[in-house]
Amino acid sequence: MLTKRLIACFDVIDGRVTKAQNFQDNIDVAPAAELAQRLYADQIDEIVFYDILASAQQRVIDLDTVRAVAEHVFVPFTVGGGIRDLDDMFTVLKAGAEKISIDSMAVRNPDIIRAGAEAFGNQCIVLSTQVKQVGVSESLPSGYEVFIDGARTATGMDAVEWVKRGADLGAGEIVVNSIDGDGTAAGYDLAITRAVADAVTVPVIASGGAGNVDHIAAGLTEGGASAAIISSILYSPRLDRNVGVRELKAGLAERKVHMRPWIEIAPT
């Protein structure tokens, strides 16, 4: 049986992992390659890396850091931030990423989803969405609106309509990133996570707000998510206590969430 996944998320600036709150006020945590190695040793299921300034600075993603992480991490590795076209995707994949995460660029040019899926397979294209609860209206039937550019720009697009379109265009996974939840450690937005999971047949990833093991368990059960993105709980200096992957998985197993169990294996 397929397990649920824990995905560690890195917001990277100049090769270092930082931690934001509501998409603002990033504080420094650690070098990305070092933190990646530590989490790999702790048997994290997956890592996602966002070069959070690449898009604003209109530059290519930080390939040195992508490579430095890929050299030490032998679990799946997704990279996003500033991906503009197929050439950018190709470059990032050749630097050692398995999957490409696209967000603002996909809103501006939805065809990039189709083109990426055609060139590299649906499994390679992760559509990440920044969503905010704004209340139900005629143009926003789900009550959630899609934002872009680090949650700064409203698009007027309905979150559920957008992810359905993204999946139809070929996205292999959908990340539901709650702007209100980001960095708050107050729990995922279960309502929109569930709405998205019910609307598409590809795997859905909960993101934004996990502060304890109950939040993660809720995202993976009530929220209907296949995977949970976590970051604060693992390493945010803003929290009194960080929790390791092994302890989180033990807690999830106690809550009957099926996770990849800890393995003892002699190092190769």
Partner 1 sequence: MIGVVDYRAGNAPSVMFALSRLGIDATLVRTPTEVEAVDRIILPGVGAAAATIASLAESDLVGVLRTRVIEADTPFLGICIGLQVIFDRSDEGPTDTLGWVPGVVTRFPATDRVPQIGWNRVEFSRPHPLTVGLPADPYCYFVNSFYAAPADPSAVLGTTSYSVDFCSMVARGNIAATQFHAEKSGEVGLRILANFATWDGREC
Contact residues for partner 1, defined by CB under 8 A: 1-5, 40, 43, 45, 70-72, 74-77, 90, 93-96, 98, 119-124, 172-173, 201-203, 226-227, 260-261, 263-268
Alpha helix segments (H runs only) across the chain: 32-41, 63-70, 86-94, 104-108, 111-120, 159-169, 190-199, 213-220, 232-235, 245-254
Pick the closer one to partner 1 by CB: 3 or 22: 3
Query: At its nearest, how many Å lie between partner 1 and the CB of residue 126?
Result: 10
Nearest distance from residue 68's CB to partner 1, in Å?
11
**CB of 86 vs partner 1, minimal distance in Å:** 11
Torsional class of 64: left (φ above 0), alpha (ψ -120 to 50), beta (otherwise): alpha
Give me the least distance between CB of 27 and partner 1, in Å please.
30
- What is the spatial distance between Cα 12 and Cα 19, in angstroms, rounded to a whole number? 9
Q: Strands 5-13 and 16-21, how do they pair?
A: antiparallel
Q: Which is nearer to partner 1, 13 or 76 (CB)?
A: 76
- Within a 13 Å sphere around the CA of 196, how many CA atoms are in the beta-carbon half? 39
CA distance 192 to 12: 26
| Residue whose CB is less far from partner 1, 20 or 197 | 197
Q: With respect to partner 1, which residue has the nearer C-beta, 21 or 122?
A: 122
Q: Return d(Cα 135, Cα 225) in angstroms, integer.
A: 23
Which is closer to partner 1, CB of 121 or CB of 141?
A: 121
Identify which of residues 71 and 214 has a Cβ nearer to partner 1 in the complex: 71
Q: In whole angstroms, how close is the CB of 217 to partner 1 at the nearest point? A: 17
First-to-last C-alpha distance (Å) of the chain: 27
Pairing status of strand 173-178 against strand 125-133: parallel
Minimum gap (Å) between residue 110 Cβ and partner 1: 20
Integer Cα distance of 131 and 66 in angstroms: 26
Nearer to partner 1, 1 or 135 (CB): 1
Residue with tokens 């708050």: 184
Q: Rounded to the nearest whole angstrom, what is the least distance from the CB of residue 59 to partner 1 in the complex?
A: 22
Q: What is the DSSP letter of 123?
A: G
How far, in Å, CA of 241 to CA of 18, rounded? 17
Which of 44, 10, 43, 51 has its CA nearest to residue 29? 10
